[in-house]
Amino acid sequence: MDLPIKRVARTAWRGDDFSNGDRAVPEETAVAFTYNGASHAVMMATPQDLEDFAYGFSITEGIVSSVGEIEQLDIVDTEFGIELRMWLTEPRQAALRARQRRLAGPTGCGLCGIESLSEACRPPPVVPAGQRFTPRDIMRAMDSIGGSQTLNRETRAMHGAAFWEPCRGLVAVREDVGRHNALDKIGGALARGHVAGRSGMILLTSRVSVEMAQKTATIGVPVIVAVSAPTALAVRTAEYAGITLVAIARGDGFEIFTHPHRIAKETIAHVA
């Protein structure tokens, strides 16, 4: 499969002079989510891992609760972008129709298909207890994600999300121009692979916003580790959901913002 990358001409200014050349940049396209023939949302995204995107977005946005509630998925290239056409089982069809009838209007990135401010700040599900990790686990996990980001290595313009387990290392890595999209793709990959989220941690190469905390809770992963800082609302959401939120994870350490009991200094024996 060809990577969604294009080389474009550019002029660089370095060393007190101009030089001509080219640079690899990521593709970005409109991706439409339709359910039973009705349009639900359009996201700008990297056209890769679209099956994972379809399933993951549907789960994290509450359209379905499991992959089995999507009876069929067709990925259709169109003149203007890509359509992810899904057909849902009953009663999910009826629930979505009722939800769509209540919609007041369009919303922004990460808040698709909602009807009110209260729903935008909806309480997330509480995650399972999960397991404990050592600081060394966190450092190993974050060290592993950089070399696995194929698209970012070529373009330096991609967000990454990954799922890591102590016994298996990186289970899945997904990239996208949108950080929410990358996390949705990870959610889809875990759901399609029937991977239990409680056994590992989500890794993010971006900041942690409230949507990222909400989506992680819905996926069912009890630990988030990110290279950048969280927002205050993300911290409150992680606290409510029982998520251990670790951020500013760099080469010299990290900071724990919520539920620190899952990060223990002593040696932990991991069970496969």
What is the structure's pLDDT at 268? 59
| Position 121 pLDDT exceeds 70 | no
Residue 251 token pair: 């080469």
pLDDT in tens, 168-193: 999 999 999 999 999 999 999 999 99
121 in active site: no
Second CATH level (architecture) for the domain 29-120? Roll (3.10)
Q: Which amino acid is at 24?
A: A
Which one from 109, 112, 121, 167 is the annotated catalytic residue?
Answer: 109
pLDDT in tens, 142-163: 999 988 999 999 999 999 999 9
172 vs 104 pLDDT, higher one: 172
130 vs 180 pLDDT, higher one: 180
Local confidence band at 108 (pLDDT 50, 70, 90 cut-offs) = very low
Q: What percent of the chain has pLDDT over 70?
A: 89
| Position 117 pLDDT exceeds 70 | no
What is the structure's pLDDT at 265? 85
Local confidence band at 6 (pLDDT 50, 70, 90 cut-offs) = very high
What order do you get walking across the sheet with 70-77 strand by strand?
38-45, 29-35, 82-88, 70-77
| Position 5 pLDDT exceeds 90 | yes
In which residue are the tokens 């003149």 written? 79
Strands 82-88 and 70-77, bridge-based pairing: antiparallel
Given a contact cutoff of 8 angstroms between Cβ atoms, the answer to whether 171 and 148 are in contact is no
pLDDT in tens, 239-271: 999 999 999 999 999 999 999 999 998 765 665
Does domain 135-262 match CATH 3.40.140.10? yes
- CATH 3.40.140.10 location in the chain: 135-262
Residue by residue, DSSP assigns 47-85 as: SSSHHHHHHHHHHHTTS-SSGGGEEEEEEEE-SSSEEEE
End-to-end CA distance of the chain: 33
Region 83-93: mean pLDDT is 94
Given a contact cutoff of 8 angstroms between Cβ atoms, the answer to whether 237 and 124 are in contact is yes
- CATH 3.10.20.10 location in the chain: 29-120
Kindly report the average pLDDT of the chain as a whole number.
91
| Position 30 pLDDT exceeds 50 | yes
Rounded Cα distance, 251 and 199, in Å: 24
Helix residue spans in 122-231 (DSSP H): 135-146, 150-155, 179-192, 210-219
